Amino acid sequence: MRSARPFLAAALVTVTGFALAAASPANAAVPTDTSALRSAVTAAGILEHQQALQAIADANGGIRLAGTPGYDQSADYIVAQLQAAGYAPTRQRFDFAFFQELAPAVFERVSPNPVTYVLDDDFVTMTYSGSGDVTGTIQAVDLVLPPGPTPSTSTSGCEASDFAGFTPGNVALIQRGTCTFAQKAQNAQAAGATAVVIFNEGQPGRTEAILGTLGGPGVTIPVIGASFAVGAELAGLPGAVVHVKTLTLSQIRQTENILADTGGRTDRTVVVGAHLDSVEAGPGINDNGSGSAGILEIAQQMSALHITPVNRVRFAFWGAEEEGLLGSTYYVSQLSARDVKDTALNLNFDMIASPNYVRFVYDGDGSATPVAGPNGSGRIEQVFSEYFGSQHLATEATAFDGRSDYGPFIAVGIPAGGLFTGAEGIKTAAEAAVYGGVAGAAYDPCYHQACDSLTPVADGADPALYAQLAAAYNLAGNVNLNALEEMADGTAHAVLTFALTTSAVNGSGRAADPALANQLEYQGSYLRK
């Protein structure tokens, strides 16, 4: 551990303030000089923290899942590092619905013409599915086949009346569209279904097996998400008999967020967040060891440089993000109306070192993607874009779709933004021409796998692909050190810029926008509707 000194009373850097309203060249702020912090925050320093997280995972069955000892020890590490840097971190404990599959699910067509469907390709278990071993007749519920011209044409299973005439004991076949998977499954269970198969809707981009969530416990029967091809096939076989088997665990456990504050104005709090937990499959060294280690290093170096912000910075390490943004959701739920107003913005960093990376910036103004963030989010995007532009580094817009911890903040009207280097999405030839790497491969080929580690090939990654990536970039396992250096600099620049602005950045009249929250398709990494 490198030494870090506590805060002194004076900042090393000053800045002319700006508002979060859209800026024009005539009224743009004088740029903040963030060079000292950017120089202090290095990929090598961040990698030390990732190595510590890897060691914790190795000692705990290869994972750092919330509600397990691997996560608890990760939180202890963060607390110890922050304390050594002069912070007084707090542990925000909360109960959450822990979910785990205890055995691989089974899905088969018994008759006619028996078929065994392939887990992960043809179907997956939805999180918070109940357990069961069911053989029954499939019964279609208000399907739209062929699919409509646009997503959410189907309302299959969204209303109790869709189940008029449903035979109790049958397996409900429901199509994705309009309402949440939870609503569809609850209606099916109330109608007497013994299991539920929700298949994808069928439009382009909505055909694969659905990696979905029911949002929490409550449905006690098996619920699986299937591909459009499987659903359409079963819909064409009236009276077909299927076998569905799931073995799951849902129980209330406790985990925690770690919060650490600088000094500064509490009515202009800048929340800088990254989730600390991994998935059940692996140690999560990029997802999200990169983001959490990155903001930890920034916190340490701000202290070492004696930077006292004008506005309070709250470094937040979220728990249970992989269960559906539960830590950040709990945090926001505990804010009073005054607290919400006093939160200037949220900066979110979830995966900033993907091995086949692109520099993604959240599209705060909605100019390139379907959803704009609350008023002020466009200004956050601008700060990132202008910084990378000044470094002659290209960026791409990425959408607010609900896949990370900005979700609860934008749902209550708090401006948000951040950086991302890509997950399971596929790098295009055009992106490879700009950023290098391998076109046609995932941004993170080890996303949500055991090989999201410092030894990816040993943990199951494709050796040929990682050899190509290692030839293109400086890799440390599944961590792209080129990406980490660039994105950490962008992170440090934005954190310090918003920490030192002398303008009121929180705006006024902030309120939740239910329409905005309802547009988000994801709850963390899982589809919710």
Closest C-alpha to 384, from 309, 488, 297, 303 = 488
Q: Give mean pLDDT, residues 439-464.
A: 98
Judgement on whether residues 235 and 271 belong to the same structural domain of the protein: no
| DSSP code of residue 442 | B
Distance (Å, whole) CA 83 – CA 263:
15
Q: Is 182 helix (H, G, I), strand (E, B) or coil?
A: helix
**pLDDT confidence bin for 22, thresholds 50/70/90:** very low
Tell whether 234 and 278 lie within a shared domain.
no
For residue 157, tell me if it sits in a domain. yes
Q: Which of 256, 280, 297, 321 does the annotation list as catalytic?
A: 321
Residues 277 and 384 both lie in one domain? yes
- Whole-number Cα distances in Å, 380 to 55, 322, 365, 416, 434: 35, 25, 9, 7, 24
pLDDT of residue 19 exceeding 90, the answer is no
pLDDT tens digits along 333-354: 999 999 999 999 999 999 999 9
Q: Hey, which bits of 63-161 come out as E strands?
A: 90-111, 115-116, 123-125, 132-140
Residue 505 pLDDT class (50, 70, 90 cuts): low
What per-residue confidence (pLDDT) applies to 24? Answer: 31
Within this chain, do residues 65 and 131 fall inside the same structural domain, yes or no? no
pLDDT band with cut points at 50, 70 and 90 for residue 15: very low
What is the model's pLDDT at position 211?
86
- What is the three-state SS of 19-36? CCCCCCCCCCCCCCCCHH
Per residue in 258-305, pLDDT tens? Answer: 999 999 999 999 999 999 999 999 999 999 999 999 999 999 999 999
Residue 218 inside a domain? The answer is yes
Of 217, 251, 285, the position where a domain reaches its end is 251
Helix axes 481-500, 43-58, angle to 10 degrees: 110
Decide if pLDDT at 6 tops 60: no
Domains contained in the chain, number: 2
One domain for residues 112 and 168? yes
Boundary (domain end) residue, out of 202, 230, 251: 251
| Range of lowest pLDDT (14-18, 70-74, 378-382, 408-412) | 14-18
Q: Within this chain, do residues 140 and 280 fall inside the same structural domain, yes or no? A: no
What mean pLDDT value characterizes the chain? 91
Q: Copy the structure tokens of residue 394.
A: 């290209």
Q: Establish if 452 belongs to a structural domain.
A: no
Which tokens is 158 given?
């969204």
Query: For residue 520, what pLDDT is reported?
Result: 61
Same domain, 168 and 54: no
Q: How far apart are CA 179 and CA 188, in angstroms?
A: 13
- The answer to whether residue 21 is domain-embedded is no
| Residue 234 sits in the same domain as residue 274 | no
Other residues' Cβ atoms within 10 Å of the Cβ of residue 190: 11
CB burial string 230-247: b at 16+ within 10 A, e below:
bbbbbbeeeebbbbbbbb
Distance CA 175, CA 199 (A): 5
In a domain, 523, yes or no: no
pLDDT of residue 18: 36
Answer for the pair 86, 4: CB distance below 8 angstroms, yes or no.
yes
Question: Residue 443 domain-assigned?
Answer: no
Give the pLDDT confidence score for residue 13 in this predicted structure.
Answer: 37
**Radius of gyration (C-alpha) of the chain in whole angstroms:** 24
Give the model's pLDDT for residue 32.
84
The three-class DSSP label of residue 156 is coil
The domain spanning residue 242 has which CATH number? 3.50.30.30
Active-site annotation holds for 297: no
| Alpha carbons 347 and 314: distance in angstroms, whole number | 10
CA–CA dist 422, 398 (Å, integer):
9
Report yes or no: 406 and 522 within 8 Å, Cβ to Cβ: no
Contact assessment for residue 249 and residue 296, using Cβ atoms and an 8 Å cutoff: no
Q: Looking at the domain assignment, is residue 431 inside a domain?
A: no
Cβ-Cβ contacts under 8 Å for 468 (sequence gap 6 or more): 438
pTM of the model: 0.83
Which domain does 80 fall in, by range?
A: 35-87+262-421+483-501
**Structure confidence at residue 502 as a pLDDT band (50, 70, 90):** confident
**What would the two tokens of residue 427 be?**
């790098």
| Domain boundary, last residue among 251, 278, 294 | 251
356-403 pLDDT per residue, tens: 999 999 999 999 998 899 999 999 999 999 999 999 999 999 999 888
What's the CATH number where 299 sits? 3.40.630.10
What distance in Å separates the CA atoms of residue 226 and residue 242, rounded to the nearest whole number? 13
Type of residue at 130: G
Say what the pLDDT of residue 10 is: 34
- Please count the other Cβ atoms lying within 10 Å of the Cβ belonging to residue 341: 18
The secondary element (H helix, E strand) that includes residue 516 is helix 514-519
Q: Is the pLDDT of residue 11 over 80?
A: no
Measured from the Cβ of residue 252, the count of other Cβ atoms closer than 10 Å reads 10
Residue/partner pairs of 333-340 with CB below 8 Å, 24 or more apart: 333/408, 334/92, 335/412, 340/412, 340/413, 340/414, 340/510
Q: 322 and 298 share a domain?
A: yes
Residue 491 falls inside a structural domain: yes
Give buried/exposed letters for 391-411 (b at 16+ CB in 10 A, else e): eeeebbbbbbbbbbbbbbbbb
**Whether residues 302 and 155 fall in one domain:** no
pLDDT at 454: 98
Q: Are residues 344 and 491 in the same domain?
A: yes
Residues 121 and 225 in one domain: yes
